[in-house]
A and B are shown apart, each in its own frame.
Chain A
Amino acid sequence: KAGVTQTPRYLIKTRGQQVTLSCSPISGHRSVSWYQQTPGQGLQFLFEYFSETQRNKGNFPGRFSGRQFSNSRSEMNVSTLELGDSALYLCASSAGLAGGPGGDTQYFGPGTRLTVL
């Protein structure tokens, strides 16, 4: 089974621009989560989508948004980029046991390295 794929792998943008990152989950997985990894803040949860609906959200400003398509693929968008948005953005997919107790195993993609100049 193919793993989680993320495109692009590397991205360079300038302040004020916007960016869209893409994630394709493992086949059959219905939940996609996004995380930001920085040296200063570590790994932080952005949001989770299940069946095209945002199911959970982290503590990030509204400039960070996402969506999920009917094939479970997900995109994350960051508008009005700031220097502090430079990070590794990781996508993770899980089977997404709707109504379950949680703790479903998440499988991560290789990440998109975003650099904001």
Chain B
Amino acid sequence: AQSVTQLGSHVSVSEGALVLLRCNYSSSVPPYLFWYVQYPNQGLQLLLKYTSAATLVKGINGFEAEFKKSETSFHLTKPSAHMSDAAEYFCAVTVYNTDKLIFGTGTRLQVFP
């Protein structure tokens, strides 16, 4: 069965610093992996998606994630944090042969001036 684990429920960075949000997956088949962002009182917005076409995936708002099979990881990064990046971030994997998403527990990102 597929699953994802997000390490760190809260991450705090200064504006302009590197953002690193960790996600490890478990899957016996090549996974489809996603990062979504949720701002307060809103739904989920897709940041990026891994489909095996390329291991480095670029998303919106300057975010990117690298798929590392040897480490079963799909960490999300952004070189320079902006105040507007403060939100909750969810890593997700689809259950094999379906569109059903299994989400991690989320990481709340705080950005300090």
Which residues on the A side are within 8 Å of B102 (C-beta)?
45
The size class of the interface chain B forms with chain A is: 20 to 34
Q: Which 4 A-B pairs have the closest CB atoms?
A: A103-B32, A43-B103, A108-B43, A108-B44
Partner of B36, one of A4, A33, A108: A108
Q: Does B105 contact A (CB under 8 A)?
A: yes
CB of B19 to closest CB in A, whole Å: 21
CB of B18 to closest CB in A, whole Å: 26
Partner of B100, one of A33, A42, A96: A33
Q: Give the residues from 60 to 117 in chain A that come closer than 8 angstroms, CB to CB, to chain B.
A: 90, 92, 94, 96, 101-111, 113
CB of A27 to closest CB in B, whole Å: 17
A42-B105, A108-B36, A108-B45 known; A56 vs B90 contact (CB < 8 Å): no
**Quick one: closest B residue to A91, CB to CB?**
B43
Q: Does A22 contact B (CB under 8 A)?
A: no
> Between A and B, how many residue pairs show CB distances below 8 Å?
65
Would you call A102 and B45 a contact (CB within 8 A)? Answer: no
Which residues on the A side are within 8 Å of B36 (C-beta)?
108
Of B60-68, B71-79, B91-99, the one touching chain A: B91-99
Q: Does B87 contact A (CB under 8 A)?
A: no
A103-B51, A105-B49 known; A48 vs B99 contact (CB < 8 Å): yes
Q: Does B46 contact A (CB under 8 A)?
A: yes
Which residues on the B side are within 8 Å of A110 (C-beta)?
42-43
Partner of B99, one of A4, A31, A111, A113: A31
**Quick one: closest B residue to A113, CB to CB?**
B41
A42-B103, A42-B106, A103-B32 known; A56 vs B98 contact (CB < 8 Å): yes
CA distance A101 to B103 in the complex (A): 19
Would you call A102 and B97 a contact (CB within 8 A)? Answer: yes
